[in-house]
Structure formats: C-alpha cells, structure tokens
Amino acid sequence: MDEDRIGSPALRLLGVTKRFGPNTVVDGVSLTLGDGEILSLVGASGCGKSTLLRLVAGLEEPTAGEIAIGGRVVAGPGIFVEPERRGVGFIFQDYALFPHLTVAQNVAYGLRGPRRAEAPGIVDEMLERVGLPGFGARRPHELSGGEQQRVALARALAPRPSLLLLDEPFSNLDRRLGDRVRARTLALLRELGAAAILVTHDPEEAMASGDRVALLRSGRLVQIGAAEDLYHRPVSREAADFFAAACALPGRRVKGAIETPLGRFPAPEGMREGEAASVYVRAGSVRLVPAGEGVAARLLNRSFLGHCYQLLLAVDGLDEPLRAHVGASEAMEAGPEVHISVNPAEALVFPAERP
Ligand SMILES: Nc1ncnc2c1ncn2[C@@H]1O[C@H](COP(=O)(O)OP(=O)(O)OP(=O)(O)O)[C@@H](O)[C@H]1O
C-alpha cells in the first residue's frame, strides 16, 4: 500500500450518481466507510442498492461523482479502474460459484501475483476459516446452500480484499441457517479486518449486522448512522416507515399539540396550527390501563409471538387495527373491551405532507 494511502478510509463516495436513460437510479450518494467498518445498506426493492454496489465494484460506471477505495480514486471524471484492479471482493445472492470447478479451484480463482503461487496453502486456510476443511475436491452441486455460501465467502476473501461487497448473501437460506451463516461471516470479516457493505432489504438484518446502517430510497441516502439512531430517531417519515415497525396514527396540530385518536402528542418544531401529522406508535409502547383511563379499544385478535403476546385492537378513528405487545398475564386478562394508553414520549411525530 502506498504511504499516502495509509489511514485513508476503506471507501469514499462523493456525489455518486447513476442514470440509465432518463432514470436516475443512484442520486448524489456521498458516504465514507472506515477501515474494517461494516455498513448495512438497506432499502426497499428497486431503490438502487445493487446498482450502488456494482458502481463500487466497477461493474457499472457512474454518470457523475467520484469513488475512492483505500484513498485511490477508482471512478470519477476521466478515471475508471477495472473491477479486477480494485481489490474488492463481491458475494452475490446466488453465490455464483463456477459449477465446473472444484471448491478448491473456486476459492483459488481470484488469487493473483505472489498469492497465486501460495494457492494450496491459502485455499486450505480459507476453507478452515469458513468451517469447511477437507471440502476442496467437491464440486458446487455436491454442497448444500449454506455450504455454497461459505465457499463463496472463502473465494471472495482469499485475495485479502480491503473491501467486501455482499449483495443479499443470506436471503436464499432459511432463517435459522441464514442467521448462523451471517454470524460466521461477520465474525470472519472482523477477524480479517475487512471493511464491508452488506446489502439487505430487511431492517432487522441491517440493524443486527452493521456498525452503521445506511437507508436508501429512490437512489438517495435518506439517513446513515448507528442502528439505534435509525430506530429511535428516524429523520423523516420515510425512515420511520422503514424502521419503526409501528402503526401510523393520523393527527392534526390543535392548540399546540398533535391530536390523534389515541390522545395528544407533542408537536414537532415548525408545524403550523391545523397541519396534518403522522404519529408512529410501536406495539411495545401501547399499554393496557384500567377502565376509565386512556382510550377504549376492542380486542380483535390475540396471538403468541414467543417473547410476548400481540393484541390487535380496533380504535375509533383508526382505519387499521393497532398492534400492542404485552406480557402473558395482561394478554390473558384482556377482555373484549380494553383501555389503552401510549406514553407520548415514545411516539415519533412527523408532518404528514412532507416526506
Ligand atoms: N442496467 C440497467 N438498465 C436499466 N435500468 C436498470 C439497470 N440496472 C438497474 N436498473 C433499474 O434501477 C433500479 C434500481 O435497481 P437495483 O437493482 O439497484 O435496486 P435494488 O435496490 O438492488 O433492488 P432489489 O432489492 O429488488 O434487488 C430499478 O428500477 C432497476 O430496474
């Protein structure tokens, strides 16, 4: 590594934009990834996550903006470094192993220069690290989905990339296997000190996996920060919609506070009197209170979620049932009519007409 690149961020994007014809798919994205940092990139289907990864990998060329990896500009005005010269590893959703090559040949595939000569030792080490020692002679079709994913990981990490890009790598595995393979993958990335971007459309996976989480919507970066920030302090209605897993109550500012079917909530600064609001209430913030307190609701359904019970409640003025997560004794005591309240400090309030 050049002297002047020591201490450079693993990745820096500056105003990166990608247009396909008239469609702007990635729109002025700027972010910096520290050495060894793992970033979850999350957003709804079609928001541009894969395109952003492909731009970093060099599989697409930006229409505008600049990309630097480890301090070296790899894409920008008049500059384009080919994918194989970027020192970036890539794992796709379908693993993309070469079916005609053995596991060992797959893992050795990306080794270049002096590391090529050491291939047998590196292959053994990588297969050991991903928990597949002795699998070198097998072919991809002789492996389970989880094993194929681990070979893809060994192949991507064998050349020791400073940056690894993972595009929904666990989504083809069932939930429990996916969780296990994800934990193993993250531990290995930490061990090797590789920075990584993990693309997912699942907010829980994003929050559980990344040092930071970046939320993309329509090609734009909506918010980037610690998982707790996105969950507790979403910057906008868009971010709350994605992360809060909450019911949105309609409201309106009346006499300085937001009036809703569940009572009054503090108005955010800058909201005008009479302006419409959306108040996000999480299931864990809804409490059952004695009759005569709070607001009356009708119990529509009770279900066991494992860590709690979920009550579905009909409340006058709400189009959709409200979800409440409560403990076993509360759930069992709840009759057809209940009374509920929400701590105003636990709700998220946004102007309804602005994004
Ligand atoms: N080569 C291309 N030519 C034209 N449009 C494209 C091309 N690649 C992607 N797009 C469009 O860009 C948008 C973003 O696609 P992208 O695959 O980046 O989204 P995504 O967030 O990864 O979605 P998903 O979660 O469904 O994989 C989509 O509308 C897609 O149709």
Global pTM exceeds 0.95: no
Q: Which one-letter amino acid corresponds to residue 41? A: L
Those residues whose C-beta lies under 8 Å from the C-beta of residue 342, and which sit 6 or more positions away, are: 262, 263, 281, 285, 286, 287
Let me know: does 200 contact 209? Beta carbons within 8 Å.
Answer: yes
- Report the nearest-CA residue for atom 30 of ligand 1: 46
Substitution candidate for ligand 1 out of 25, 54, 198 with most atoms within 8 A of CB: 25
Assess whether the C-beta atom of 20 lies below 6 angstroms from ligand 1: yes
Q: Which amino acid is at 307?
A: H
Closest ligand 1 atom, CA of 54? 18
The finding on whether 102 has its CB within 6 A of some atom of ligand 1 is no
Of all protein residues, the one whose alpha carbon is nearest to atom 25 of ligand 1 is 45
Q: In what order do the strands lie in the sheet with 276-282?
A: 263-266, 257-260, 246-254, 276-282, 348-351
Tokens of 337: 């009519």
Ligand 1: which atom is nearest the Cα of residue 53? 18
Q: How many CB atoms lie within 10 A of CB 156?
A: 26
Atom of ligand 1 nearest to the CA of 48: 18
Give the contacts of 323 (CB within 8 A, at least 6 positions apart): 247, 283, 286, 310, 311, 312, 313
CB of 201 within 6 A of ligand 1: the answer is yes
* Residue with CA nearest ligand 1 atom 6: 20
CA-nearest of 227, 232, 229, 263 to 246 is 232
Which of 23, 51, 172 should be mutated for ligand 1, with most atoms under 8 A from CB? 51
List alpha helices for the chain, DSSP H: 49-57, 103-108, 114-117, 119-129, 145-157, 175-192, 203-209, 227-232, 237-243, 328-333
Which of 17, 18, 20, 199 to mutate to test ligand 1, by most ligand atoms within 8 A of the CB atom? 20
Closest atom, ligand 1, to C-alpha of 47: 21
Distance between start and end Cα atoms, the chain? 44
Between the CA of 50 and the centroid of ligand 1 the distance, in Å, is: 7
50 lines ligand 1 (CB under 6 A): yes
**C-beta of 43 in contact with ligand 1 (< 6 A):** yes
Domains of the chain by start residue, with CATH: 11-239 (3.40.50.300), 244-351 (2.40.50.140)
* Dihedral Cα 320, 251, 246, 263, nearest 10 deg: -90
- The residue whose CA is least distant from atom 12 of ligand 1 is 25
Q: Which residue type sits at 203?
A: P
Question: Are 192 and 157 in contact, with CB atoms under 8 Å apart?
Answer: yes
pLDDT in tens, the chain (355 residues): 444 455 689 999 999 999 999 999 999 999 999 999 999 999 999 999 999 999 999 999 999 999 999 999 999 999 999 998 998 999 887 768 999 999 999 999 988 888 888 888 999 999 999 889 999 999 999 999 889 989 999 999 999 898 999 998 888 778 888 888 888 889 989 988 899 999 998 998 999 999 999 999 999 999 999 999 999 889 888 888 887 677 889 999 999 999 999 999 999 888 999 999 999 999 999 999 998 899 999 999 999 999 999 999 999 999 999 999 999 988 888 889 999 999 888 899 999 876 5
Ligand 1, atom 24: closest residue by C-alpha: 45
The CA 46 to ligand 1 mean position distance, Å, reads 5
Strand pairing category for 212-217 and 220-225:
antiparallel
The protein residue with its alpha carbon nearest to ligand 1, atom 3, reads 20
> How many other CB atoms are found less than 10 A from the CB of residue 143?
18
The reply to whether ligand 1 has any atom less than 6 angstroms from the CB of 178 is no
Q: Report yes or no: 283 and 248 within 8 Å, Cβ to Cβ.
A: no
Q: For residue 131, what are its two tokens?
A: 């928990």
Write down the pLDDT at residue 5: 53
Q: Are strands 163-167 and 88-91 parallel, antiparallel or unpaired?
A: parallel
* Residue 211 confidence (pLDDT): 95
Q: Measure the CA–CA gap between 148 and 181, rounded to whole angstroms.
A: 11
195: number of Cβ within 10 Å: 24
Cα 52 to ligand 1 centroid, rounded to whole Å: 9
